[in-house]
Amino acid sequence: MKRNLSGIGCACALALLSACATTEGSGDASSYTAVDYALYPTPDDAFVADVMPIENEGKLELYYLYETDHNIQAYHPIHKFSTENFYQYEDLGLAVPCGTAKEPDVAIGTGSVFKAQDGLFHCFYTGHNDSFAAQGKPKECVLHAVSKDGISWEKKFGEVLYAPEGYSNSDFRDPQVFWNEDDKCYWMLVATREEANGGIVAKFTSTDLTNWTFKGPLYAPHKQYMLECPDLFKMGDKYYLFFSWDCVTYYAVGKTMNGPFTAPKDNVLDGTNFIFYAAKTAELKGKRYLCGWLGRSEDKGYDTGKYRWAGNMLIHQLVQHEDGSLGVKMPETIAEHFPESKEISAGASDGTVEKNGASFKLRAKKGEKAAVDLGERAATMLLECDVTIGKDGIAGFAFGNPQKNFKNWYALALDAKRNCIHYEGYKIGGFESIVSSDPLAQTRFSFKPGEKHHVTVVAENEIFIVYIDDAKVLSSRIYNSVNGAHMALYTTEADATFENISIKTTR
């Protein structure tokens, strides 16, 4: 099956958005039309789970676990998307099917795809069979499939890799395989667990992709139950190892491919609580991208900051800073998707608001707020601005019904009080929520009084992605921002400026 995604996903979007058509924050629903998911694709009647990216012939091919709400014993076949610009995706359908109930891959788990020195495509993936444990067999293993064209795959059931002695045979998954030019052999990294100590990334080597030798742990912090979806790559003169657990994607840094790897104090780029999970990386045209998924709302269309496993594909562009830390930004080509500029106009306001062209100064003392309505939020848009927030202030973007007082609008927070970015459906007004409550899902970011931060927002239907300073991102679903809801700028308990505001939309 091969199809272009223009037109795909709209029915799914409309179904999701209709669940909140009468939320308190909505305006005139008839003025809002959901768009196809062009930037954050998901298959019809299904969801994107763990992504396995590979560059091939100038495109990024994105293999992923195909998740549904009606799984049976066989689940998570591997499907595939393809893109070269991150706003046009081709759905290439099924790649690797699930096995039968008697086979080790009746359920499939994460792996990796690459083109080896033999010219063939190789997919190493997780075989998972819950019934095997009762039969005294390992529940998880690493399996191998081969393809000449990346379309038709042949499973090599004679090649099965199990956990070595002392490691869990129920938690042995997510292989990453690549050629190591320095060692002149293939490496395989596997997420597993030392029975006595906790999660590690195990290392295996091979010269023929068939026979593998266990070389011990590559990374063993012994802090978490598992280190899922390991992904090792070099950027500049450093090596980076991504892994996921606790509903979060983390990274560690090393000077050599063999480590030692150290997790930076702040090693989360995009939030907690299944905001962005199981991310793996790949290069495309010399730039490296972090490919994962944005979870589904746990409360069926309501804004709570709680997300479920699997959702829409979500890709960030990686940035390496001078100190060796990593950051993220919007994939640069996405700007091509938004050619139309929208005039910046001010509607209703509350508190002290000063407008100067495409800039606003909002003033708020202790116990006060200020806000200004920018009009109806487009179904899909690109917004950029420079934001400065006063000491311990909370500012950002709010969404609501223009006929209601700003007190009842919902606030995405650039939170200088707690040094983080968050959204969980709290209202601006009353201060009992947005000011007083601890965030449920957040991305840590250090705001400094008087310091200007560049903010980029990409929105598509209820998906609302906020990048800041090519450093961090908060990905979220804001159901209160759709169906005719207006968008406002706001601040609480401190002055804030929003300068050089630019809003662009599609034609």
CA dihedral defined by 300, 465, 380, 348, rounded to 10 degrees?
Answer: 90
**How many CB atoms are located within 10 Å of the residue 285 CB?**
10
pLDDT over 90 (residue 218)? yes
Average pLDDT over every residue of 168-189: 96
21: three-class secondary structure by DSSP: coil
Model-wide pTM > 0.85? yes
Give the pLDDT confidence score for residue 157 in this predicted structure.
87
> What is the Cα–Cα distance from 499 to 358, expressed in whole angstroms?
6
Q: Per residue in 227-285, pLDDT tens?
A: 999 999 999 999 999 999 999 999 999 999 999 999 999 999 999 999 999 999 999 99
Q: Choose the weakest-confidence range: 13-17, 143-147, 373-377.
A: 13-17
pLDDT over 90 (residue 354)? yes
Q: Could you please report the per-residue DSSP string of 383-447?
A: EEEEEEE-TT-EEEEEEE-TTS-GGGSEEEEEETTTTEEE-SS-BSTTSTTTTTSPPSSEEE---
Main-chain dihedrals φ then ψ at residue 269, nearest 5 degrees: -90, -30
User: HSE of 442 in the Cβ direction (CA atoms, 13 Å)?
Assistant: 18
Residue reference for tokens 């909370």: 394
> What is the Cα–Cα distance from 212 to 174, expressed in whole angstroms?
16
> What is the Cα–Cα distance from 276 to 244, expressed in whole angstroms?
10
Give the pLDDT confidence score for residue 24 in this predicted structure.
54
Q: Could you please report the per-residue DSSP string of 82-127?
A: EESSSS-EEEEEEEE----TTSTTSEEEEEEEEE-TTS-EEEEEEE
| Proportion of the chain above pLDDT 70, given as a percent | 93
CB 37 within 8 A of CB 458: no
Q: Per residue in 327-352, pLDDT tens?
A: 999 999 999 999 999 999 999 999 99
Q: Per residue in 423-450, pLDDT tens?
A: 988 888 754 466 667 788 899 999 998 8
Average pLDDT over every residue of 158-180: 96
Q: Per residue in 187-208, pLDDT tens?
A: 999 999 998 889 999 999 999 9
| Proportion of the chain above pLDDT 90, given as a percent | 85
> What is the Cα–Cα distance from 263 to 326, expressed in whole angstroms?
12
Output the average pLDDT for the chain: 92
